[in-house]
């Protein structure tokens, strides 16, 4: 079955007794036991719920993994992954990552004796050089947020295998529709499901998919032990959002390609960061491992004073944090999503007071361009 069909058929007729096309919402905390020592497979919703199981099995199918898990947020998912490690362990983290991920490493898990190094993982050589005797994992985003740097997943998977480490990939930007890191050798994939998977700016959720059941069982234990799972109602919303993932990603991709090219021609724009552009330094690697470029564009303007001008003048595009919804959103990473990144690192990466990040929606592309044009004038 093609991926587009797999997406649409998540949860269809999952309730064999009724034949319901739409997955029912099993809004119950407890399940009755048939007899002493017997179970229907469901005992308590924290451990397992039929609605959540549908979305967890579905995302595992799309990522081609062994086990899928749905959490209350993307950060809850990443937190659970980091709980696989213990005091004394070292993790390599992509230097250009979401600010919340950096904050989690720097301000929380360091308190428990887990150390980390920030590395430009788009360079396999620099990444390999950062490995220590106690390094247990490499955590990457590709494309990165917000500078859209590309990391060679297969190359880093090979390095991890050689050193008996795990490769963790945040696949939020591209989703399994455009990129499947587990097929390239990654061990764990995480998503802020709030973004493209749910797709409508109305649901907070996170996802983990593992390549092998041995890691999956550890995640399952942590999910149940900490109680950090997605509710039945929100699981149903995620299922519904996933149904249109293929259609939405195609439109995001189409629109972003047009808008990135247009931005590249504008006199007040000095840099456009989008892997679909021929000038992108990581395009060759990106095209090797992904089938699309997604809907996120970052761009720098010629004058910092132009940033508040754009943010105050956009009318069609919404000035808001987050990304991946059907509506176009624009944000200012240096003061919003990446404020927890130290200033020196932000400046080295290019996350300056001139950088904006655009989450391109599925509206008519010309309407998005027209709004940007009037805001730039």
Question: Could you tell me which of 351, 354, 355, 356 has the C-alpha nearest to residue 341?
Answer: 351
DSSP 8-state secondary structure symbol assigned to residue 336: T
> Which is the catalytic residue, given 48, 52, 195, 248?
195
Residue 167's φ and ψ, nearest 5 degrees, are -105, 120
Q: Which of 67, 170, 187, 234 is catalytic?
A: 170
Contact residues for 354 (Cβ-Cβ < 8 A; gap 6+)? 270, 300, 301, 302, 303, 304, 306, 307
17 as an active site residue: the answer is: no
Do residues 73 and 204 make contact, with C-beta atoms less than 8 angstroms apart? yes
Distance CA 212, CA 191 (A): 17
Residues pairing with 44 in the sheet: 30
Q: Active-site residue among 98, 102, 196, 273? A: 98
The vertex-155 CA angle with 58 and 4, nearest 5°, equals 25
Active-site residue (options: 46, 218, 261, 313): 46
Is 371 catalytic? The answer is no
Q: Which residues contact 5 (CB under 8 A, 6 or more apart)?
A: none
| Strands of the 269-273 sheet, one edge to the other | 269-273, 296-301, 355-359, 329-331, 318-319
Is there a catalytic annotation at residue 240? no
- C-alpha distances in Å from residue 288, one per residue of 82, 93, 295: 29, 23, 18
Angstrom distance (rounded) from CA 193 to CA 172: 7
How far is CA 173 from its chain centroid?
Answer: 5
Query: In the chain, what's the furthest Cα-to-Cα distance?
Result: 74
Q: Does the active-site annotation cover 46?
A: yes
38: CB partners within 8 A, 6+ apart: none
Q: Which residues are catalytic?
A: 46, 98, 170, 195
């Amino acid at each position: 079955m093609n991926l587009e069909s797999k997406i649409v058929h998540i949860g269809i007729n999952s309730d064999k007794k009724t034949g319901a096309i739409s997955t029912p919402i099993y809004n119950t905390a407890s399940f009755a036991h048939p007899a002493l020592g017997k179970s229907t497979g469901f005992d308590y919703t924290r451990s397992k719920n039929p609605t959540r199981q549908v979305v967890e099995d579905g995302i595992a199918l799309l990522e081609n993994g062994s086990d899928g898990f749905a959490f209350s947020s993307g950060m809850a998912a990443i937190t659970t992954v980091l709980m696989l490690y213990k005091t004394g362990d070292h993790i390599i983290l992509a230097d250009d990552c979401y600010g919340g991920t950096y904050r989690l490493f720097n301000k929380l898990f360091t308190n428990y004796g887990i150390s980390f190094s920030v590395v430009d993982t788009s360079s396999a050589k620099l990444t390999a050089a950062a490995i220590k005797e106690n390094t247990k994992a490499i955590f990457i985003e590709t494309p990165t947020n917000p500078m859209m740097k590309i990391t060679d997943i297969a190359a880093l998977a090979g390095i991890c295998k050689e050193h008996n480490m795990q490769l963790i990939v945040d696949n939020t930007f591209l989703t399994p529709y455009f990129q499947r890191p587990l097929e390239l050798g990654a061990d764990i994939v995480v998503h802020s499901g709030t973004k493209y998977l749910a797709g409508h700016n109305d649901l907070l959720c996170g996802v983990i998919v593992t390549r092998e059941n041995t890691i999956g069982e550890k995640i399952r234990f942590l999910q149940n032990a900490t109680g950090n799972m997605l509710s039945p109602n929100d699981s149903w919303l995620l299922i519904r959002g996933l149904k249109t993932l293929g259609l939405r990603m195609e439109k995001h991709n189409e629109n972003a390609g047009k808008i990135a090219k247009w931005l590249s021609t504008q006199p007040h724009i000095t840099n456009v960061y989008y892997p679909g552009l021929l000038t992108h330094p990581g395009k060759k690697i990106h095209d090797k491992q992904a089938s699309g470029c997604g809907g996120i564009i970052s761009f720098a303007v010629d004058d910092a004073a132009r940033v508040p001008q754009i943010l105050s003048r956009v009318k069609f595009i919404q000035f808001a944090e987050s990304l991946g919804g059907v509506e176009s959103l624009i944000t200012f990473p240096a003061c919003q999503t990446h404020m927890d990144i130290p200033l020196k690192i932000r400046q080295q990466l290019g996350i300056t007071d001139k950088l904006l990040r655009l989450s391109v929606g599925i509206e008519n592309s010309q309407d998005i361009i027209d709004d940007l044009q009037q805001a730039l004038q």
